[in-house]
């Protein structure tokens, strides 16, 4: 996929109002999250509703607790591999909350947030890993400051508050697929 003006071509676009301008143009961190709404349930449009401030508190008890939250992520990778983009990459999404990476606070300022539809304890799908690896390769190509050592989980930037992407996320698999994706792209470039 290509990225133009912060938009990932081929992704389904649902604009979230929960974003603003970055304090500068730096984009140098990628944060992996998970989300399921209601907790532990997959499918449906509840995540879209949360990120667009349309979550109906009458549809589920849990929604009464969170329907007034103003949060977003740049993208979501659903269980079937579909990618949904809510916020252009050049804008600041509201995904990290109180956070710090390498001593620098306010990770939303300089990061891209990627949500995986899932939970800490349910294995992610092969489609999600493949799409995540391809997306990261695209992002690294477009935003070269997102190096391998600047890809992290939400739990690592907010360890007192968050646990995602959880023990079910296979970092080794993700790194292997990402390295393979980058190698394929390099080989294709050499053939041109």
At 152 the pLDDT is 98
Residues 6+ apart with CB under 8 A from 126: none
Mean pLDDT of 70-94: 98
165, 34 Cβ separation under 8 angstroms: yes
pLDDT value of residue 1: 83
Domains, the chain, ordered by start: 3-191 (3.40.80.10)
**pLDDT at residue 109 above 90?**
yes
Question: What's the rounded Cα separation, in Å, for the pair 36 and 72?
Answer: 14
Catalytically annotated residues: 115
The model's pLDDT over 32-60, given as tens digits with 9 standing for 90+, comes to 999 999 999 999 999 999 999 999 999 99
pLDDT at 192 over 60: no
Nearest to 146 by CA among 47, 72, 74: 74
- Greater model confidence, 192 or 115: 115
Flag whether pLDDT at 106 surpasses 70.
yes
pLDDT over 90 (residue 187): no
Query: For the segment 115-138, what is each residue's pLDDT rounded down to a tens digit?
Result: 999 999 999 999 999 999 999 999
pLDDT of residue 147: 97
- What percent of the chain has a predicted confidence (pLDDT) above 90? 95
Q: How far is CA 71 from CA 60, 77, 137, 138, 179, in A?
A: 19, 16, 25, 24, 31
Q: What percent of the chain has pLDDT over 70?
A: 98
Residue 178 confidence (pLDDT) above 90: yes
Mean pLDDT of the chain: 97
């Amino acid at each position: 996929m290509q990225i133009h003006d912060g938009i990932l071509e081929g992704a389904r676009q649902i604009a979230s109002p929960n974003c603003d301008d970055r304090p500068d143009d730096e984009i140098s961190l990628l944060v992996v999250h998970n989300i399921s709404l209601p907790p532990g349930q997959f499918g449906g449009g509840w995540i879209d509703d949360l990120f667009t401030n349309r979550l109906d508190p009458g549809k589920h008890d849990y929604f009464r607790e969170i329907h007034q939250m103003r949060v977003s992520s740049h993208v979501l990778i659903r269980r079937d591999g579909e990618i949904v983009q809510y916020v252009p990459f050049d804008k600041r999404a509201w995904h990290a909350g109180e956070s710090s990476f390498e001593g620098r606070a306010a990770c939303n300022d300089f990061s891209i947030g990627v949500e995986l539809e899932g939970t800490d304890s349910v294995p992610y799908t092969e489609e999600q890993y493949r799409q995540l690896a391809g997306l990261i390769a695209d992002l690294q190509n477009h935003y070269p400051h997102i190096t391998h050592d600047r890809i992290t989980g939400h739990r690592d930037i907010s360890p007192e508050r968050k646990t995602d992407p959880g023990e079910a996320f296979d970092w080794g698999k993700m790194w292997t697929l990402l390295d393979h994706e980058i190698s394929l792209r390099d080989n294709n470039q050499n053939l041109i």
